[in-house]
Structure formats: structure tokens, C-alpha cells
Amino acid sequence: MAILVTGGAGFIGSNFVLDWLAQSEETLVNLDKLTYAGNLRNLESLQNDPRHVFVHGDIGDTAQVGQLLARHQIRAVLHFAAESHVDRSISGPRAFIQTNVVGTFSLLEAVRAYWQALAPAQQAAFRFLHVSTDEVYGSLEPEAPAFTEAHRYAPNSPYSASKAASDHLVRAYHHTYGLPVLTTHCSNNYGPLHFPEKLIPLMIVNALAGKALPVYGDGQQVRDWLFVNDHCSALRTVLAAGQPGQTYNVGGWNEKPNLEIVQRVCALLDELQPRADGLPYASQISFVADRPGHDRRYAIDARKLSADLGWKPAETFESGIRKTVQWYLDHPQWVQEVQSGAYRDWVQSHYAQAGSAA
């Protein structure tokens, strides 16, 4: 038996793969298309680990997915693969519909065919865990209660709309076909291995390069911040004990405006790697025009996950952001390769045979 992870070379996916194999002897099959944010350098430590089976492929290829499910006797699928950057969805929404909606549909079809052919006991034990986002719920007013699992969907960007559509497909496959699905909605993740287009890694990388630190609008957009390793532990908990058909919100209980996040990153860099001229990194902050349809506030109520399954985050924001900034300071080569695209050359030389042989 094994588990299948889609998108396991991306930010959250690769952290989950590393976390899983640090605690389990079970084989993990990692299916990733290796688009711009899929980086197998993240998983270099697993290069010779037989428990990690990497497959270069597309969730939309139902034949390939079906073969992997049968060959490795998959007992659970964790579906991370998605286009996820809101700004990219605004300038190019088609890829988000293709991957997040059509891709999820194709994956569900392959999984359904495999699951329906299993023996009854294996069917009952099987799980399909769909990793979604709090952005499907839309925007909250400043004093409104945090999102619960019962909050109505109100997506405001092509990205969040595509994720909402995929959520509905997953729900439909449970209610129509009986597929044992689980869905999680996470808040903003941060931590190591984050592609530097998102807020925190972008601020770290730009600050160290002496570039402007662009902040949308007035910087008072509020997000709930979740350290990626805490998210991984929540997913393991939901996979092990979650009830099929249920949805679980995963949050860090850390609501903070974007400007405060940027200022905290700057303060940590001032402490850990001061500028040569002695000026504070906050002097590089630059306010730019807000993006279209920018949601003002997200906040996750994760009490259901805590009450039903006993999960809670291990990191405070202060401990998590310090670990994150220190990781980027300790891994300048990773940052350089991501920015230059050199990690793609490494993939070609180290994983060319692995992808075809798996």
C-alpha cells in the first residue's frame, strides 16, 4: 500500500512529502507536472530514498493516474496540485480553470474508477483528501466572525473561483458516487521552500537584494497566517481521523495585516543580517496600486478541527516567521536557482530517468 500526492514538488506539497517521510515508512508516490513553481530541488534529500517515487506527470492524464493507482495499490490520495497565485489568475485565468477545475475532474474520474474496483474493505478504508483554501469564502468585514466550515462560498478572483469549483466537484463525487473524500480549507501558508512570488518570501528576497518592497494599497489587508509544518500536521490528522464527506478549516490563529507582516520581516532582517549602510530594511517599503478585487480580510475558525480531531498549531507567528526568515538566509543558493530557473537544469540531470521509470 502507498499514498499518492499530487503537486508534491510545490511549496506545501514538498513540505508535506518531507514531513510524511520523516515519520512514516509507507511509500509515497509524488505526481507533479513541474510547472514554474514545482521544484524537485526541494526534495533533493530524498533522491536515493526508495520510499519516495517521483513521477513527472499531469493530473489531467487519467490513463497515467489510473496506472499509478493500480501499480502502487494506493490507499489515499492527497490532492495539492493547483495553480495558486491570485495575481497570475488575474492576468491569465485560463490555466487556473484548466488545472484546478478540469484537472481535478480528471483526477476524480481516475480515482473513482480505481476505487470502485477495490474490495469492499479497501473501499471503506480509502481516502481522497482535497487541499483547498480559505479564499473560496470571499472577503470578511473587519469585525465579522471568522470563516467556519458552514460559511457560504463567495470567491472573488479567478483563482478562488477555480478552487471553489474544484471543491464542489469533490463534494459531488462523495454524494453521487460515495467516494470517501475529505476537504480542508487552509489560511495563508508561510515557511521554507516558498516560491518567491508570494508576500513573505518576496519581501525577504527583495529586501536582501536592495529592491523595493511593494505593498498593495494601504497594506491593511488582513490574513490568517499558518506555518507550513503546522498545516502538514493538520493534514496528517485529517487523513488519519477525519470523517468522509466532512470539511475541516485549518488556521494558525494569527490574523495580521500585510503591512505588519512586511514590517516584522524587515525587523528580523535588521537583527539577523543588517544592511551594510545601517539603514533599516523598512526604508525599502513602497506602496503600490491595489490589485483588482483584492479581498480585505480572511480569517479561519479552526475550532472544529481542534474539537473533533484534537489538532492545534505548534508554532506561534513569532516562532514561525523567525524560522522562515532564517531559512532563506541560510539557503541563498536555493533562492538564486529559483530566480534564475537553474533548478530546472538540475531536474533534467538528476531526475530524467526517475520520471520515466516510475
What SS3 state is found at 316? coil
Cβ(267)–Cβ(259) below 8 Å? no
Q: Which of 91, 283, 42, 84 is nearest to 186 (CA)?
A: 84
The catalytic site residues sit at 134-135, 159
Name 352's Cβ contacts closer than 8 Å, sequence gap at least 6: none
What SS3 state is found at 271? helix
Cβ(352)–Cβ(358) below 8 Å? no
Q: Which of 329, 330, 344 is nearest to 9 (CA)?
A: 344
**Which residues face 53 on adjacent strands?**
29
Name the DSSP letter for residue 39.
-
Cβ(358)–Cβ(55) below 8 Å? yes
Distance CA 302, CA 304 (A): 6
